[in-house]
Amino acid sequence: MQHLTKQFIDNHWVESQGQRRLAVTDPYHQRQIAEVTTGDPADVDAAVTAARRSQSAWQALGGDGRAPYLEAFATHLEQRRESLMRLSSTNNGKALAEAAIDLDDAIACYRYYAGQARALEARQGRLVEHGMEGVSARTYEDPAGVVGLITPWNFPLVTSAWKIAPALAAGCTVVFKPSEVTPLPEQALAEIAEAIDLPAGVLNLVHGDGEGIGAPLTAHPGIDKLSFTGSNAVGAKVMRAAAEGIRGVSLELGGKSPILVLDDAEVEQAADWVMAGIYFNSGQICSATSRLLVHHSLADALYDALGRRIDAIRLGDPLADDTDMGPMTSARQRQSVEDYLAIAAEEGLVAVRDARHRTLPKQGEFIAPTLFRDVPTSSRLWREEIFGPVLCARSVASEAEAIELANDSDFGLAATVISGDTERARRVGRALRAGSIWVNSEQLVMPEAGWGGFKHSGIGRELGPWGLAAYLEVKHLIGPE
C-alpha cells in the first residue's frame, strides 16, 4: 500500500504537518490502496510563501521561456501514458478507454497553452487604436500572481490541466490541491515538475481534504486568485472566502444539462448520442445530459432503442478491455445515487430500465444505468444533479416547449440538440442558456473552445483564450508617443 506522507513544496518533498490520515480506495475491489497524510495550515502557508517567492522570476521568463516547460509536461505525461491510465482506472473506477480520454485531453491542454504562452509574449505592448494625437497607449497582460487551484475526483488529470496549464502559461505560480479521493494520478504532476526542473516554487502540491487544506488555502491572504471545480455547496464557500480578500475567483460547478431530440431526428443515431451524454464515466460528469426532452412522436421508439443499449452495457473491472462501465468512484457517491433512486420510488417514477432490477458484479461500488420516462418537472430527480448513471426523460409537443423546459433549470453548463436539420439544431441551440451546446454530437471538449456555464453552473470560463485570460490582469501604459 502506498503512503503519501509528503507534500511537494518549493521543489522539495516535505513531511506533512497534519496528523490526520485519509484512506484512498480502489472502488472496484473495495479495498484501500493508499493512505494520505493530510496537510494543515502550516503546509499551505509554506506553499504560498514558496509560490510568492518564485512568482516574479517566473513572470520574467516571458511566455517564450515558460512554453517549453508546458511542452515538457505534455511529453512526460505521454511517456507515462499506460501506467497513468491504469492508475487512474484503479483509483477512480473509470474504464480504461475513459481514462485514456482523460489523459489524452490533458496532454493536448498542456500543448495548447504552450502555444498560448508564446502568443501572449508576442502581443505584449500592442498599440491601442484611439483618436488622441500625440498619445501612445499600449496594452500589457500581467499574471494574476499566486493562484490556488482545487480540482475534483471525476476527471483528475484533465481538470487539473485546465487550471495548471493556463496559470503557468500566464506567469502565475500555483498552490494546487487535488481531490483527496483520487490523489494518485495527480501525484504524477509533482513528480513531473521535479523531473523537468521546473523552477522551485512554481508548482506546489498539497494533499488533504476540505477541512485540512481547502479551507486554509481559500482563506490564505497570500493567494491572489482562486479556481475551483466541484459542487455548488463548496463553490459557495470558495466564493465567500474570495470575497473576504476581494480576490478573483473562477468556479466550474454543477449541471443538469438537457438533451433535445427534435421531431426530425433519426432515432437510432439519437439514441447513440443520448447514451454517450449520460452514461460516460458512470454518469459522474458535470456536463452529463441527464434531462432528455424528446418529441412525443419519437418517444416510444427512442425509449426502446435506449433500453436495448442500456441492456448491452457491460459492467465490470475497469482494467478489463471488455468493460463498458466501471463502478462509482467511491462508496459515498454510490450511496448518494442510491438515495436518489429511493426518492424515485417515493415519487412513483416510471422506469424504462431500473438499476435495482439488474444483477450487478459481485464486487465494486456499482450503480447500473437507469432510465425514467415521463418524469414530472417538479421531481427532485429532474431538477437536482445526481452525478450518476440516471437519465430522466419526458416527451414534448413542440420545439418551443423543448426550449422552454430545457431552460427551466438553475443550471446552465451544457446542452445537446439533435435534429435532421443541422441549421435548425443550431438555431435551437442559440436559444438555450448554457455555455456549451453540442449540435448532433455529444460531449466534445477541446482546448481551443471555452468551457463554463451560465447561472448556478459557475463563474468564468476555462480553456481557449478565455482560460488564459482568467489568470491575467490587463495593464495599459498611456503617455506621449
- Residues 234 and 283 placed together within one structural domain of the fold: no
| Domain coverage including residue 147 | 2-253+457-480
**Residue 104 within any structural domain of the chain:** yes
As a whole number of angstroms, the distance between CA 23 and CA 35 comes to: 5
Q: How many beta carbons lie within 10 A of that of residue 259, not counting itself?
A: 27
Q: What is the mean pLDDT of residues 314-342?
A: 97
Q: Are residues 145 and 81 in the same domain?
A: yes
Domain at 20, CATH number? 3.40.605.10
Q: Are strands 291-295 and 258-261 parallel, antiparallel or unpaired?
A: parallel
160 close to 149: Cβ distance less than 8 angstroms: yes
Which residues does 370 contact at the CB level (< 8 Å), separation at least 6?
Answer: 341, 351, 353, 354, 355, 389, 390, 391
CB 341 within 8 A of CB 381: no
Structure confidence at residue 4 (pLDDT): 84
User: What is the reported pLDDT for 41?
Assistant: 95
Q: Are residues 149 and 237 in the same domain?
A: yes
**Residue with the three cell numbers 516571458:** 62
Residue 19 clears pLDDT 90, i.e. is over it: no
In this structure, the strands spanning 248-252 and 411-412 are: unpaired
pTM value is: 0.96
Amino acid, res. 367: I
pLDDT (0 to 100) of residue 276? 96
Angle at 312 between CA 348 and CA 383, to 5 degrees: 35
Q: Tell me, what amino acid is at 334?
A: R
Mean pLDDT of 128-144: 95
Please, is 401 exposed, middle or buried when counting C-beta atoms within 10 Å of its C-beta (0-12, 13-18, 19+)? middle
**In this predicted structure, what is the pLDDT of residue 9?**
97
Report the alpha-carbon angle 104-106-108, nearest 5. Answer: 70
Q: Is residue 451 part of a domain?
A: no
| CATH value at residue 289 | 3.40.309.10
Q: So what's the pLDDT on residue 258? A: 98
Q: Give domain status of residue 121, yes or no.
A: yes
Catalytic residue among 252, 365, 399, 462: 252
Q: Are 368 and 469 within one domain?
A: no
Share of the chain above pLDDT 90, in %: 96
In a domain, 134, yes or no: yes
- Are residues 399 and 270 both part of a single domain? yes
Q: Which phi and psi (to 5°) does residue 461 adopt?
A: -135, 145
Structural domain contains residue 355: yes
Task: Kindly list the strands in the beta sheet with 390-396, ordered across the sheet, starting from the edge strand earlier in the chain.
Answer: 350-353, 370-373, 390-396, 291-295, 258-261, 414-418, 436-439
Q: Are residues 50 and 154 in the same domain?
A: yes
**pLDDT at residue number 370:** 98
Is 15 noted as a catalytic residue in this protein? no
Over range 284-297, report the average pLDDT: 98
Task: Decide the pairing of beta strands 203-205 and 225-229.
Answer: unpaired
Q: Examine the residue annotation and report whether 172 is marked as an active-site residue of this protein.
A: no
State whether 291 and 426 are in the same domain. yes
452 within some domain: no
293 and 152 share one domain: no
Core vs surface per residue 192-216: b (16+ CB within 10 A) or e? bbeeeebebbbbbbbbbbbebbbbb
Q: Is the model's pLDDT at 442 over the cut of 90? A: no
pLDDT at residue 17 in the model = 83
Looking at the structure, do residues 146 and 66 belong to the same domain, yes or no?
A: yes
Burial class (CB in 10 A: 0-12, 13-18, 19+), 367: buried
In this prediction, what percent of the chain has a pLDDT beyond 70? 100
pLDDT score recorded for residue 447: 96
Give the contacts of 223 (CB within 8 A, at least 6 positions apart): 48, 146, 147, 148, 175, 217, 245, 247
401 belongs to a structural domain: yes
pLDDT score for 2: 83
Give me the mean pLDDT over the 330-335 stretch: 97
Residue 96 and residue 14 share a domain: yes
Q: Of 74, 300, 17, give the one whose Cα is nearest residue 189.
A: 74
For residue 16, pLDDT over 90 is answered with no
Distance CA 92, CA 99 (A): 9
Please give the tally of structural domains in the chain.
Answer: 2
Three-state SS for the chain is: CEEECEEEECCEEEECCCCCEEEEEECCCCEEEEEEECCCHHHHHHHHHHHHHHHHHHHHCHHHHHHHHHHHHHHHHHHCHHHHHHHHHHHHCCCHHHHHHHHHHHHHHHHHHHHHHHHHHHHCCEECCCCCCCEEEEEEEEECCEEEEECCCCCHHHHHHHHHHHHHHHCCEEEEECCCCCHHHHHHHHHHHHHCCCCCCCEEECCCCHHHHHHHHHHCCCCCEEEEECCHHHHHHHHHHHHHCCCEEEEECCCCCEEEECCCCCHHHHHHHHHHHHHHHHHCCCCCCCEEEEEHHHHHHHHHHHHHHHHHCCECCCCCCCCCECCCCCHHHHHHHHHHHHHHHHHCCEEEECHHHCCCCCCCCCCCCEEEECCCCCCHHHHCCCCCCEEEEEEECCHHHHHHHHHCCCEECEEEEECCCHHHHHHHHHCCCCCEEEECCCCCCCCCCCECCEECCEECCECHHHHHHCCEEEEEEEEEC
pLDDT of residue 181 exceeding 90: yes
Same domain membership, residue 293 and residue 196: no
Phi, psi for residue 480 in degrees, rounded to 5: -60, 150
Distance (Å, whole) CA 48 – CA 37: 19
Q: Check residue 3 and give its pLDDT.
A: 85
Whether residues 233 and 310 share a domain: the answer is: no
Sorting pLDDT into bands at 50, 70 and 90, what band is 333? very high
Average pLDDT over residues 146-163: 97
pLDDT for 1 equals 78
Q: Which of 121, 180, 186, 286 is catalytic?
A: 286
Residue 39 placed within a domain: yes
